[in-house]
Structure 1
Amino acid sequence: MFETISISTDARGVATLMLNRPDKHNAMSGRMIEELMAAAARLAADDAVRVVVLTGAGQTFCAGGDLAWMQAQMAADADTRFREARKLAEALQALNTLPKPLIGAMQGNAFGGGVGMACVCDVTVGVDTLKMGLTETRLGLIPATIGPYVVARMGEARARRVFMSARIFDAAEAVELGLLARAVPADRLMDAVEAEVVPYLACAPGAVAAAKKLTRDLGPRIDDSVIDMTIGALVERWEGDEAKEGIAAFFDKRAPAWAAKG
């Protein structure tokens, strides 16, 4: 029984994987990360599922990592930090390599890890009012475990425009950056998602899975060595003084020490 996500499947074999912490803006807690791993395994093994749609409950698609969860990692011992960081990295990779088409339906904003969630989808459409941003550096952190998927989606040149600045950008720029295939009015979102889903229902499921694997094999390398490098980079930031100050400042509702005055 899931607590932070839900899965439903229609008669056609179209499954909806919904992030379901609307009161927390679908921020990824330790529990949600574990449940996403379990969901990916379940969906991958279910021959009745032809396509998966990833969306969120409430007004926000995903606000990124749960800050209370990140704060706990900074207070934990080294083994716990590595274990939790690996869970996050493995959940992202499980979704990225899901042997079914994964269609992102962004009904609201995405920040930090939420951008990473959009990038593990094969195609993502969103409402034209949404905002996005890789906001980690404001907290003294970096987009580490999501980094390979963000750079694979945008390419290095476009990623460098937004990867380090924590700048918030709108749906039109998200399309330009390659994060969204298109942005549509909210009342047309599900029509746009349906337009992405329907072609797959005429395709051989095994061929779709093989074609998806081939695109990953031909694309930027995201293997165990890359994932291990991102885990190390994330843990290093968790252990640093900037992350401690950034997270503390967030909970204290004040500007961090490095923020420009005036």
Structure 2
Amino acid sequence: MYQTLSIERQERVATIWMDRPDVFNAFDEQLIADLGAACAELDADASVRVVVLAGRGKHFSAGADLNWMKRASAFTEEENRADARKFARMLRALSGMSKPTVARVQGAALGGGTGLAAACDMAVASSDATFATSEVKFGIIPAVISPYVLRAIGPRHALRYFQSGERFSAQRALAMGLVTEVCERDQLDTTIAQLIEPLIVGAPLAQKAAKDLIAAVDGHPINDDISEETAQRIARQRATSEAKDGIAAFLEKRTPAWLL
């Protein structure tokens, strides 16, 4: 079904493997299309509780494929808009998934590779991983990935790295909030499994509601409007069959329905 990636399923976890190791999983039109389609497929699959985004080979993703960039440089402005919109839609599909997403990062995560890691809810990086928003070195800007990178590292750090294009380490990424965990490369899968274990236990509709809550509340002042928004959201959630079952399961010391 997919030309540039494969999907590996293990119990309730699905891993999207970008599979262009010969070009360090750099993305082009096809990989963008495949990633968007894979996100849609897995988001619609109720048997999948967590999605991991990974890259085959030594590197997570070196960003944009140079041949794709060369083609884009010859595009008209309107053609460039259409091309960029496809990339933007794919990142929104990844970021907007209704279930937890984890980036598995090793080696280089450059340009759009940093954007992919930022678009996931969480990211685990090997200690030798490196990141960069390197677009300025090519005379362009990290426009499409900016909402996700800004959400992760904030505007102050973005002002430095968007303008310098310099690489930064996994430890620096951890300190800025881009990365959730750092470990040795041979411990990536173990560390991700430990991160996933409590995610599997959470109620799926509540997890989606939690993601929506963060998007609705973040950046807003604490005032009457935001207080009413939060009250409305918890009231709606309490009324769901999932919440009723979850509370009853806790009181009755039984397993909730979503774990059966």
Common fold by TM > 0.5: yes
1:5 is aligned to 5
CA distance in 2, matches of 1:181, 1:71: 34
User: What is the CA deviation profile of residues 213-241 of structure 1, one whole-angstrom value per residue up to 9, with x for unaligned ones?
Assistant: 211222359xxxxxxxxxxxxxxxxxxxx
Which residues in structure 2 correspond to 1:101-250 (within 5 Å)? Answer: 101-219=100-218
User: What is the CA deviation profile of residues 67-119 of structure 1, one whole-angstrom value per residue up to 9, with x for unaligned ones?
Assistant: 21121122123332211110001100110111110011112211000000010
1:244 is aligned to none
CA distance in 2, matches of 1:52, 1:97: 12
Q: CA contact under 8 A between 1:152 and 1:220: conserved in structure 2?
A: no
**TM-score, normalised via structure 2 length:** 0.82
CA distance in 2, matches of 1:196, 1:220: 27
Q: Pick which of 171-180 and 69-78 moved more.
A: 69-78
Q: CA contact under 8 A between 1:136 and 1:143: conserved in structure 2?
A: yes
Unmatched runs of 5 consecutive residues or more in structure 2: 221-260
CA distance in 2, matches of 1:86, 1:32: 14
Which amino acid in 2 is paired with 1:167? E
Q: CA contact under 8 A between 1:27 and 1:62: conserved in structure 2?
A: yes
1:76 is aligned to 75
CA distance in 1, matches of 2:72, 2:59: 24
CA distance in 2, matches of 1:36, 1:117: 10
Unmatched runs of 5 consecutive residues or more in structure 1: 222-262
Query: Is 1:42 the equivalent of 2:44?
Result: no
1:259 is aligned to none
**RCO (CA 8 Å, sep 6+): is it higher in 1 or 2?**
1
User: What is the CA deviation profile of residues 108-161 of structure 1, one whole-angstrom value per residue up to 9, with x for unaligned ones?
Assistant: 211000000010111101100111111111110111100111001111112223
- Aligned-residue Cα RMSD (Å) equals 1.3
Q: CA contact under 8 A between 1:152 and 1:219: conserved in structure 2?
A: no
**TM-score, normalised via structure 1 length:** 0.81
CA distance in 1, matches of 2:173, 2:153: 10
The number of residue pairs the alignment matches comes to: 220
CA distance in 2, matches of 1:94, 1:218: 20
CA distance in 2, matches of 1:3, 1:107: 22
Larger radius of gyration: 2
